[in-house]
Amino acid sequence: MVARINSGKSISKALNYNEKKVQQGEAEFLAAQNFLKDANALNFYQKLAMFEKLNSLNEKVVTNTLHVSLNFDPSEKLENEKLIEIATMYMKGIGFGDQPYLIYRHFDTNHPHIHIVSTNIRWDGSRISLHNLGRNQSETTRKAIEKEFGLVKAESKKQVEAAQLKPVSAQRINPGKRATKAAIQNILRVVIYDYKFTSLAELNAVLRLYNVTADRCGENSTTFRHNGLLYRVLNAQGEKIGTPIKASLFYMKPTLKNLEGRFTENEKLRQPHARRIRTTIDYLFLKYKPANIDSLKKLLEKEQISLVIRQNKENIIYGLTYVDHKTKCVFNGSDLGKSYSAKLILERCSSPGMEATRSLADEKKVILRSEKTLASQQNQHTSLSFPNLSNDSNTTPPLDYVPYQLKRYKRKRKKKRLKL
């Protein structure tokens, strides 16, 4: 079993996604846990009202939505009752057992899986922390469920391959049909929620890996003038095919306006992970000395980093974008530093080790400069505090030297005058 956790800011979007799947015949509503009514008696607005009531108890919490998908091996034939049991055990294990949550079974992939929607606001208004939920509580619970129900383990090769995000196949897409939207939506759901990008170009660097692109069209187009955004499928040559779909038609609303808000948030979130990419690149140049950009690209793929090469019509490379699938961060080469831009990476390929050495030398200069600055500040502080001390360490005071503070002040006695 593979568990994927998505946290969000809109419970209505997560609920809408699953309800629309039900309407389209691609999902089935299984259960409503900890609701006041039975599942069959609940309509969309009643489900939403329960979540919104809880969220209103703590309006300071921005991220208040939990959207989980539990994915099983294609060989596993699980009945609905068994899936409900698994979902109940999972939610209890991650600390959401007393929360209201909805369970949906989806049929839009070749492997069985369920979606669970809930909120992390408790009945007393307190918040359930989502920090490291997937790494800690979810992993422990997943392993317990696999053992309890005899499921295929997530670590198995077969299960890992089934859960991986796969590119959209242009040959299987019917232009203008519902399949196109569903295929793109599956990609967007993972990329937009999981990856940290700070521009539309960086988002497209990730989407292109899965044969999808976000298109603003030409500057003279109506879409561009109204800040619109279209999502399209790409073929093997990177050409746009099929019918474009408006961003507003997807349940997560990946419009340009909403994406710009994520750009700002992701700028801070991705910074701690830039060092991993820089260190990996320098290490690969030091150990393997790649002779060209394609060799570097293959070496980076082994480290779970995709190198997206940007070229013009003359096939001249003008930019590089690094997509780190381990930390889910996206960086343009220039954002990592001058040594990782397209121009200097190409130079390093033609002369391996040159720029790596230069970057290390630059770091040493910065350290030395910082040490000198610190030393000068200390000397300046010392001279200001003790202006009478000599800088000559070999100078010693005379043997009969007595500090001024220890000297006793002798008062002169006044001579008494005789009065006549």
Contact status, residue 133 vs residue 5, Cβ threshold 8 Å: yes
Share above pLDDT 70 across residues of the chain, in percent, rounded to a whole number:
77
3-class secondary structure, 114: strand
Predicted TM-score (pTM) above 0.75: no
Residue 333 confidence (pLDDT): 93
Instruction: Mention every residue, 6+ apart, whose C-beta is less than 8 A from residue 230.
Output: 214, 215, 216, 217, 223, 244, 245, 246, 247
Instruction: Please give the pLDDT value at position 204.
Output: 95
Q: Which residue has the tokens 């539309």?
A: 200
Cα 218 from chain centre: 30
Q: Kind of pairing, strands 27-33 and 113-119?
A: unpaired
DSSP-based three-state secondary structure for 351: coil
Q: What is the largest CA-CA distance in the chain?
A: 135
pLDDT less than 70: residues of the chain: 155-179, 351-420
Supply 295's token pair. 């060799």
Question: Residue 49 burial (CB < 10 Å; 0-12/13-18/19+)?
Answer: exposed
Tell me phi and psi for residue 399, to 5 degrees: -65, -35
Nearest Cα neighbor of 269 from 224, 330, 206, 201 is 330
pLDDT given at position 370: 46
Residue type, 118: S
Averaged confidence pLDDT in the chain:
82
- Half-sphere CA count of 149, side-chain side, radius 13 A: 25
